[in-house]
Amino acid sequence: MSTSTIHDLNCFFIVGAPRCGTTALSSYLRQHPLVCFAKPKETNFLATAEEGVPNETLKDRFLETFFASGSGEERMLGEGSVSTLYSVKALERALAWFPKAKFIVMLRNPLGLLRSYHGRMLYLRQENEESFEAAWDLQDARAAGNHIPKGCFDPRLLQYREVASLGYYTEQLFNVVGREQCLPILFEDFTSNTAGVYRQALAFLGLPDDGRDQFKRKNQQRRFKRGFLQDLYTGALFGRLGNSNVLAPPQLNRLARLARPLRKRIKHHNSVDVTPRPFDPALARRLRAVFREDVGHLSRLLQRDLSHWLALPKSTVPEPSQLPHHSIKTVHGGERSNRC
């Protein structure tokens, strides 16, 4: 796509939260004929772009680096970094570049989110504590710089209470960009009525229905087979290449693109789908108590009763792992002090 065409388009952002369906929705919208979606889906550029550079210069880099693959027929640009939700700086930068930008935020019961997110962190070798309860109890120590897994790119990824405090961060989103420019989507609605939610998103973005009626599963929960192969995919070499962005030297970005097919092959052959086990009842009660206030706050923000999120679990609680997300690959932004 030509630079002039790119600069004429508005942009929408799928800003999070992790393990809430953002990868699936991004994938569906990427295939809409009037959307040019960023490659990769999570650029993390808004939260990590260097300070002191003029806004227009950064915007040019953002557009020219991540949207060069468009056909020229598109009407909108799309980007899907979940790190954006947690960073006031990222939200303000998005709005400065695209004053009419629209923001989709996908939300989920914090217990389901954490169960899935912890598994994802284990899969990506960012977490080394197999027990979620133990990992939860390490949050204060990790905030102080202790017990950080050797391969963890950013310890803030392991601040589980922050990640799942969706009431707090949804209010922050509304305050920064304006409620009218936001579309909240609940994961339970997305999994039960994917077609309806997809068309709701199209209407919010002002895009015509493209007739899509097939919605393939995305980003199921996985575990790896062999640790040494997973280290090639997510470790010090390929993991950092995969997380490179426009701020990295051009040679590193070229190497990252060359490494991507090999990383995909490793991921395919070294992964098996799994269904996470439910939390122990005592741990579930503990977490419901921790998140009761935040869920109540989110209920008021959305004007929707979410009390069932904190109810006692039924005898069988399925893990809706068919449609969720991607990992957070870089920092959240860090404007908020840790509350764990």
**How many other CB atoms are found less than 10 A from the CB of residue 213?**
7
Read off the pLDDT of residues 251-309 as tens digits, 9 standing for 90 and up.
555 566 666 677 667 666 676 677 778 899 999 999 999 999 999 999 999 999 999 99
> For residue 109, is it within any domain?
yes
> For residue 126, is it within any domain?
yes
> For residue 79, is it within any domain?
yes
Written as six digits, the tokens of 330 are: 């870089």
The residue type at 33: P
Whether the CB-CB separation of 307 and 99 falls below 8 Å is answered with: no
Strands of 182-186's sheet, edge to edge?
35-37, 76-79, 10-16, 102-107, 182-186
The domain that contains 72 carries what CATH number?
3.40.50.300
Range list of β-strands (E), the chain: 10-16, 35-37, 76-79, 102-107, 182-186, 222-224, 271-273
Read off the pLDDT of residues 132-160 as tens digits, 9 standing for 90 and up.
999 999 999 999 999 999 888 899 999 99
> For residue 293, is it within any domain?
yes
Read off the pLDDT of residues 46-105 as tens digits, 9 standing for 90 and up.
999 888 899 899 999 999 999 987 767 889 999 999 999 999 999 999 999 999 999 999
Structural domain of residue 142, as residue ranges?
A: 3-221+274-310
For the chain, the domain total comes to 1
> For residue 76, is it within any domain?
yes
Q: pTM for the full model?
A: 0.82
> For residue 87, is it within any domain?
yes
Written as six digits, the tokens of 222 are: 């996985």
Calculated CA dihedral for residues 42, 108, 224, 239, nearest 10 degrees: 20
Q: For position 276, what pLDDT does the model report?
A: 74
